[in-house]
Amino acid sequence: STDVTVGDPVTVAGRPAHQLVLTPRADGSLVESVRIAVDAADRVPTRVQVFAVGHEPPALEVGFTSLSLVPPDEETVTFTPPPGATVEEVDLRQAAEDATAP
């Protein structure tokens, strides 16, 4: 099993983030801890670090160096369906509200 705690606040890609720290309880584990940074404003993971037992720097680190959560221009995501295709438009905001309704 694993201990799950909240670590110190961090900054990832210039944005404040919360840190989730997972520490294995198993004897003999080579993993000291895994730290997952979650953007404080938008709640998206922004970095994962894996620390090995007996080593200070992370053995593995994957994260954003810059991050913009601004929606892209409509021209960027324009889609033209092929001839003969059937298109159904769905408002995902309404679908999410319906899913959380009592």
DSSP 57-71: S-SEEEE-SS---PP
CA distances from 71 to 4, 36, 41, 79, 81 (A): 33, 24, 15, 16, 22
pLDDT at site 24: 97
pTM comes to 0.71
pLDDT at 102: 64
Four-residue CA torsion sign, 54, 33, 5, 37: positive
pLDDT, one tens digit per residue, over 28-76 is: 999 999 999 999 999 999 999 999 999 999 999 999 999 998 888 888 8
